[in-house]
């Protein structure tokens, strides 16, 4: 059996996601899919200090991973069956790096955080729709085993009265995890958001109307945890979120096979809108920001 080809488009390749995804894809696909080509815009981002953060250049990375270096994005798209746009720590480049792939008609996965803001997210989905390109993006935390009930039955989220998410990491890189988990448990349709806190410890209150409320606490050192209360007063607390990367890879491979995204564009755009509002609310402590 000849493996179908995945191409990696990245800002630079020697980063955690690019270093781990090829092995996970090979393992979970059972030989059906493989990362065959990769292209990166730079060998290392300008903020890297080569003495403190030595990075493998694109050729070195490709050699070590057994992946062919593509001469251009166009060549990569032409020769591959599906495309992954990475750059998880520099999402400001996603819209530009994904542009040609979104016009290709081939399945495209864009790593977290999907876009620089909700407006850019809408534009990317509109471009993909224009060219009939299947498009999917997600935080891996969406697929934590503990959140599986909402993946299997998306309307269940609308039954929840409240949800709490605790998440770690810096806002710009990791807020997507917390807010996407909240979207899984509460659905879309948030009305407004306010923030309390400072430095890198913030609490966000999200109002969904009709007495439904979400709370997100983000602290750089915090683990990812979640809790919810449904309409009947039943509650559950997840002390940890588990198995999310293997489950993401499985969803990714199913998407490449079927062309059917496991996450609705409205949920991805809604999550981006929450992040936009949270970013603004951090500058206006205690004030409601309308979505």
Question: Which DSSP string corresponds to 13-71?
Answer: S-SHHHHHHHHHHHHHHTTSEEEEEEEES-SS-TT--TTTS----HHHHHHHHT-EEPS
Q: What percent of the chain has pLDDT over 90?
A: 87
The pLDDT value given to residue 187: 94
Number of folded domains that form the chain:
2
Domain interval for residue 284 = 141-244+274-290
Residues 145 and 234 in one domain: yes
Residues 161 and 285 in one domain: yes
The pLDDT value given to residue 200: 85
Mean pLDDT of 57-74: 97
With CA atoms as reference, report the closest residue to 237 among 221, 224, 249. 224
- Summarised one tens digit per residue, pLDDT across range 209-257 is 999 999 999 998 899 999 999 988 889 999 999 999 999 999 999 999 9
Among candidate residues 111, 137, 163, the one where a domain is terminated:
137
What are the tokens at 86?
Answer: 């990475």
Residue 124, pLDDT > 80, answer yes
Strand 160-167 vs strand 192-198: parallel, antiparallel, or unpaired?
A: unpaired
């Amino acid at each position: 059996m000849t493996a179908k080809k995945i191409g990696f488009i990245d800002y630079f390749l020697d980063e955690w996601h690019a270093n781990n995804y090829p092995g996970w894809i090979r393992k979970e696909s059972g030989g059906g899919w493989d990362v065959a080509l990769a292209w990166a815009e730079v060998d290392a981002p300008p903020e890297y200090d080569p003495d403190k953060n030595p990075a493998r250049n694109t050729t070195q990375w490709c050699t070590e991973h057994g992946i062919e270096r593509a001469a251009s994005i166009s060549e990569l798209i032409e020769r591959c069956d599906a495309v992954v746009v990475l750059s998880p720590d520099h999402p400001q480049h996603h819209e530009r790096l994904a542009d040609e792939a979104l016009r290709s008609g081939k399945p495209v996965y864009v790593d977290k955080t999907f876009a620089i803001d909700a407006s850019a997210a809408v534009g990317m989905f509109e471009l993909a729709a224009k060219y009939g390109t299947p498009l999917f993006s997600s935080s891996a935390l969406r697929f934590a085993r503990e959140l599986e009930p909402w993946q299997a039955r998306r309307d269940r989220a609308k039954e929840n009265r409240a949800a709490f998410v605790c998440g770690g990491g810096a806002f710009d890189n990791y807020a997507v995890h917390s807010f996407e988990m909240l979207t899984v448990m509460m659905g879309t349709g948030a009305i407004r958001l306010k923030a309390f806190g400072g430095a890198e410890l913030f609490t966000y209150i999200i109002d969904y109307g009709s007495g439904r409320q979400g709370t997100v606490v983000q602290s750089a050192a915090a683990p990812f945890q979640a809790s919810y209360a449904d309409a009947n007063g039943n509650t559950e607390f997840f002390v940890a979120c588990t198995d999310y990367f293997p489950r993401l890879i499985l969803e990714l491979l199913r998407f490449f096979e079927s062309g059917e995204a496991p996450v609705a564009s409205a949920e991805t755009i809604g999550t981006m809108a929450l992040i936009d509002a949270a970013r603004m609310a951090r500058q206006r402590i205690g004030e409601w920001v309308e979505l």
